[in-house]
Amino acid sequence: MGLNLTQKILTVHLQSGKVGSGGELGIKIDQTLTQDATGTMAYLQFEAIAIPTVKTDLSVSYIDHNTLQTGFENADDHSFLRSCASRFGVFFSRPGNGICHQVHLERFGQPGKTLLGSDSHTPTGGGLGMLAMGAGGLDVAVAMGGGAFYLSDPKVVRVWLTGQLSPWVSAKDVILEILRRLSVKGGVGKIFEYSGPGTATLSVPERATITNMGAELGATTSVFPSDEQTRLFLKAENREHHWIPLEADADATYDEEILLDLSSLEPLAAKPHMPDNVAPIQELLGTKVQQVAIGSCTNSSYRDLMTAAAILKGKVVHPGVSLVIAPGSRQVLTMLANNGALTDLLDSGARILESACGPCIGMGQSPSSGAISLRTFNRNFEGRSGTADAGVYLVSPEVAAASALTGVITDPRTLGKFQAIETPEYYRVDDSLILSPGDPNTEIVRGPNIKALPIAPKLTSCLELPVVIKLGNNITTDDIMPAGAKILPLRSNIPAMSEYVFSKIDQGFSARARSLGQSIIIAGQNYGQGSSREHAALVPMYLGVRAVVAKSFARIHKANLINFGILPLTFKREEDYDTIAPDSKLILRDLTKSLFANNSLPVEIAGCNTFIQLHHDLTERQAKIILAGGLLNLTRELSK
């Protein structure tokens, strides 16, 4: 029996476990990436592991999130990261060079390689035939030190593509359609493998849009084959020597299959406030729009911005609309400048932002109160834009540009003849803003915003934990640890960040958690969906959270909880969620034995003579991490 593409890459990189066993796999990581919002903590953790230089084939530190410098904090972090890169053998992509996923696709990604990034949209690399996964910074730090990355043996879903996209329909509509079918938790524990005759009609940038936003499914990652389209892209980037052909065997098997005829798709949009709240543009026509934003790691490629420029050329943005555009990389921006498309964008009234994440993470360009904002981004969680009552719709560049001209949500198919964007034979290659690894004796620069790394206490056998907060379904990492221009610069300062935990939901959370000393969180389904930000686990740990009980967890956040010594538990019977009051106290006994003896934990709800059964699915390795008080503690113990 043949192997699918996922199994082929996993098998080559396997260090422990067995592919197809349903258990835990440990795999070798070839490449890592970090960005500045998560990188400061990742390099503090790497430094704490006390390995002098990275052991990966390639590691890159990107500056793309915290580029808005309204105080010293972001600039200090950049200096810290630059000095760490020089000392530890890491490439450093300077501010202005572009968004990590776009630049990595252009300059570093290689088919068949594994990539681990401290950003949930690292699966963008799957557009090149990589097995690219997001993780918390501590997992990335361990991988940089040569350690294996552990994941549950995934189910593999074949997405069989036929046909070809119609004019004015784009790759964004492909992933929106899959989200419409499966929901934001439909991909948990799964890898989506795209194949079929329709794949040959999609360029690498289009594939990257699809794999990028696969993160919104909760998927482990998504991957395309490495074929002629891949070769042409790498050749255009002057990297054809990195190309290898790679595809599933003809007789490969899959756990699930999705059939998708590309020619059947129409322009779509994700309505507020979830990426799976998808509807056809035809149902939204005429909705008044106040802001349009084109960019992000999902839709800021040369093809995307040339598409927008072609639509806007010779026209002027509606007077009631603010149009902002953020090119994904300096390569994209300079090519637009050289061919005149940048002038077309400026003449239309567009505001050009720097090549960075910007408004996607709430770093500037917040909409006006109550505004409708169309964005080519990947997330539209409530308040993520920086404006609590704004309504954010996720759309393609085609829909965004068309609507910017009319001032209302517009079907781009009404614009007339579609102007296809030709893929460049060669992209403009200039790596002058990428610094090569430097001197291992480099002194690490630490400004006042770089604080000591908090360490969790070891787990005790008995815990009496008051409930600090009770939450509903689909709580995001934005809900737990908000982003935005005010909070993101504090990523290397955990004491300062701790004032903002759950601040969008409960302003009193931080003070209450401190007063309780130790506590437990109760939540519904898909707890921790969204970004890879380990701060959503690290900062609650700092405030004394020792366990989280949820109906279900998002993959990356659950791994982060374990890494920081927070015990993730689920209800054996979901209806037991209703028996726990917001002021209950849970008593967990014999934890040291229970984490290894079985998967069931009897828990007493204090004061009411009620017992419920909780469940854990920790592997022996994960149980050891929890008992040690986190992965960093365990790594130190094993290295003695």
Residue 532 confidence (pLDDT)? 76
Domain boundaries, the chain: 5-264, 279-415, 463-639
- Enter the tokens of residue 1: 């029996």
Residue 505 has pLDDT above 90, yes or no: yes
604: helix, strand or coil: strand
Residues β-bridged to residue 116? 32, 133
CA distance 98 to 352: 14
CB count within 10 Å of CB 573 equals 11
Label residue 422 by pLDDT band (50, 70, 90): confident
DSSP classification of residue 573 = S
Residue 112 confidence (pLDDT)? 98
Contact call for residues 302 and 208 (beta carbons, < 8 A): no
CB count within 10 Å of CB 518 equals 17
Label residue 513 by pLDDT band (50, 70, 90): very high
Residue 401's nearest CA partner among 316, 332, 329 is 316
- Who's near 515: CB < 8 A, 6+ residues apart? none
CB count within 10 Å of CB 28 equals 16
Residue 424 confidence (pLDDT)? 93
Mean pLDDT of 150-161: 96
Cis peptide before 273 (omega within 30 of 0): yes
Residue 639 has pLDDT above 70, yes or no: no
Residue 414 has pLDDT above 80, yes or no: yes
Residue 141 has pLDDT above 80, yes or no: yes
323-341 confidence digits (pLDDT tens): 999 999 999 999 999 999 9
Contact call for residues 192 and 166 (beta carbons, < 8 A): no
Mean pLDDT of 510-521: 96
- Who's near 486: CB < 8 A, 6+ residues apart? none
Residue 562's nearest CA partner among 56, 103, 142, 124 is 142
Residue 640 confidence (pLDDT)? 57
Residue 517 has pLDDT above 70, yes or no: yes
Residue 352 has pLDDT above 70, yes or no: yes
The residue with tokens 């908000």 is 482
Please give the CATH topology (third level) of the domain spanning 5-264.
Answer: Aconitase; domain 3 (3.30.499)
Terminus-to-terminus CA distance in the chain, angstroms? Answer: 44
Q: Determine the CATH number of domain 279-415.
A: 3.30.499.10
Residue 598 has pLDDT above 80, yes or no: no
Contact call for residues 326 and 355 (beta carbons, < 8 A): yes
Whole-Å CA distances, 368 to 272, 384, 405, 479, 547 = 16, 13, 19, 21, 39
Mean pLDDT of 177-198: 96
CA distance 49 to 93: 24
**463-639 sits in which CATH class?**
alpha beta
Least confident interval from 189-193, 203-207, 530-534, 582-586: 530-534
Residue 448 confidence (pLDDT)? 87
SS3 per residue for 147-202 = CCEEEECCEEEEEEEECCCCCCCCHHHHHHHHHHHHCCCCCECEEEEEECHHHHHC
What does the mean pLDDT of the chain come to?
94
Mean pLDDT of 260-266: 98
CA distance 423 to 430: 18
Whether 463-639 and 5-264 are alike in CATH topology: the answer is no
Label residue 461 by pLDDT band (50, 70, 90): confident
33-54 confidence digits (pLDDT tens): 999 988 998 999 999 888 999 9
CA distance 275 to 282: 18
Give the distance from CA 532 to its chain's centroid: 5
Whole-Å CA distances, 138 to 141, 143, 534 = 5, 9, 8
The residue with tokens 């008992």 is 627
Residue 590 has pLDDT above 90, yes or no: no
